[in-house]
Structure 1
Amino acid sequence: MLLVQQIIENKENYIDALAKRNFNAAPVLEKVINLDEERRATQTSLDNIKADSNKLNKEIGVLFKNGEQQKAGILREKASKIKESMSELSEKLPEIKEELVNLLYTIPNIPHDSVPNGQSEDDNEEIFKEGDIPVLEEGALPHWELAKKYDIIDFELGVKITGAGFPVYKGKGARLQRALINYFLDKNTAAGYREYQVPHLVNEVSGYGTGQLPDKEGQMYYVTADDLYLIPTAEVPVTNMFRDELVTEKELPICCTGYTPCFRREAGSYGAHVRGLNRLHQFDKVEIVRVEKPENSYKALDGMVDHVKEILNELKLPYRILRLCGGDIGFTAALTYDFEVFSTAQDRWLEISSVSNFESYQANRLKLRFKDTNGKNQLAHTLNGSSLALPRVLAGILENYQTPKGIKIPDVLIPYCGFEYID
């Protein structure tokens, strides 16, 4: 969430910056400024009336004490009218504050200067590419056919139990899933991230804290009886661990990792591009989250990108990195890098990770602050990234590592799997 004072000071710059997102910010920012002026005026009036009321009550007390009941009675009538005005303003003030906050929730984050202009994912900027695309044998299969051939993922069984988008992993498929999770967690903890196991459901306040609400409310599964949401990513519970916290500068950076299942409704997703593991309603993901001092956050972002690159290099999967354009970047992010692995059998790129810096946008919603060396409270910067999302990594492994003998397991995963081939 943007800070009102920054909106006031940078209105024209923010309008230009948000235009990168194809967001018409001018009327919204003007309304924010007007509401803030109304809030300030109302607060000032209320403070003045309270001061007048306190002064009047003291005068009334003195008059009664001196036996001047008639004068005291006149002042009591005046005090009664002041009390009515004070009550009206007391009711009005929280309404203005609520309207202001709700309006701020509708404004996306200011994109970083390096975010390219663009309307959609077609305008994202490729900044890095690594790995040779393997040449597969004639008749190579997409992962959903390989899953059926080797009986390692059962999509139809998932439909029977729950519905489309909830696959069942079997045998070596389940073991490969577990191997990937353990490998990702080991890589993250070795890099200094502390592991957490967190709840898979969160309350509404947590959803607002990291920005999933109200922006992505329709994409989240909602448990109506308990007013809880199934998490779309571990980012939500992990980052919310620090909601309403004041940490010391010496505690930063705070580096966290965690494995969770993720639940996304993905409403309106149909077609061949979502077949098999390409897009699911439930999937596994290992996440990394950082809380940083503002001046260190972009160096930290570069470090997170390098960390994900190292994992993909060890898996020997061909991949590329995209800098997301203004029309494709997430609502809460200031800058996002997407990692995509090449699916040779499908002849297309599949997104497997997003690494983002939110600057102070989430921290302002969360009231996540740190006390600097001068004793001043400042908003921290938050970052997060997939390290990694499993379905499309698994799809890439199945398709790119298929051989006449079977699916070869990447060397780095063999100690975790306990086998070299799926055959």
Structure 2
Amino acid sequence: MAKKKSDIKINKRHGGKEFNNSFRVIGKVKPVMKKDVATESWVEADIYELTQTKTNKDRKVIQFIVETANRNELKVELSGIEQQLVYPYSSKHNESFELEWEHRFDKTKFPDESYKLFTTNWDLCDQLSKIIKPDMWVDVRGTYEFNSFKNDEGETVNIVKRIIKQVYPLKNGMVEINNVKSGDEYRVYDSEENGALLGYGKAKEEVIEINVGWLSPEGGEIFITKLNNGEEGKRAKVAYNGNVSESDRIKVFNNVESTIRINKEDGSYEYIPYIRDFKSENFNEINEFEMQIGIKSVYQPEDSKDTKVNAAFLGYGKERSEVYDVELTVFHKEPEEGKRSIAEAFANLNRLDFLVVHGIDNNRAEFAKVEVEEPEEDNPFADVAEKVKSYEQVSTGTKKGLEILNVFAGTYVKGLLTEEEISGESDQQDPFSNVSVSDDELPF
């Protein structure tokens, strides 16, 4: 039976509710800008860095910007440190087991073949460091992580981090191999040894076509290997250019249109074209999130019909579920005749209500065109009618934050939560008095 959007995970240890969220963004990779302490100038940060924790442990960090549309720049990140134990899981047995960190890749230590180990953040940082490059186009999936701190004025500032779970470089190339046999399997890599798998395929006739990426738009080299009984043979080097390169049996098409997988409402999926050009009239931004939330409060500013939502997100905790404050906005849009706007509907929600929302993630620089005004003093053309108006683009600010676009049908439940759940308070004076958190567990 398929899992419903409104299904809430219950912690087996303490019975607390744990909400879930996810995001997906597609766009162009850009480096994060950081301030150089010595020069006080802004410089590009490395996408991959090896840093140190406060206890002098190695910490691997991946961070970069995904530009999802013109001037909408979202930072995504991941960090990992070595652990003492890992926990391979078996869906067949519905259980996990403890395994020493240094044995995590040794399958002989697993009880049986049904046990699988999810890639650790430490190892995923290594994988992504070999793949992610500036100016490539990627499909990033992940989850939000929430936190807060007090600023110098004593005000609480809520923080939202986008934590990477998966990164898929878009396929911008195609390899055509001729004179093959039906059933032959080939793989395409970016290097002669190890490296990133760019694509793979199985021949149905005498020609095989393999979608590959990310290829350098200017050209470069790929390495192709044939599989025999599941084993890879020697990789053959093939040079390619920015258009079409051809040898006796192999053609490499570069800078082809990308396709992306989109889930449909009925649970199926389809592949649609994705235009890698923000200025194209056919460009379609892929930038969305889903989130289970509990309502703490809602309000509409006096001068606006937009609705501000102060929500509670319940996350994992050792002794009880942690409560995180999340700020979201529902912008008013004129509804169809006889209907009311979603912003108005949100304004009528009550504390302790539960629902699942779908929206878009904004860090969007906004601009407007304004008419250039001419100075009237000492201007011989001030009163001339035969003039062509000129305009300039000016910044009007930045649209930031999580914007709710709609609600998943059937997920709204009135008064599902309790005051204790969304406030994080109980009869205990200090529910975390016995919980210790090391510096290594703190966010980077």
Higher relative contact order (CA 8 A, sep 6+): 1
Q: Same fold, TM exceeding 0.5?
A: no
Q: Would you tell me which structure has more strand in proportion to its own residues?
A: 2
Q: Would you tell me which structure has more helix in proportion to its own residues?
A: 1
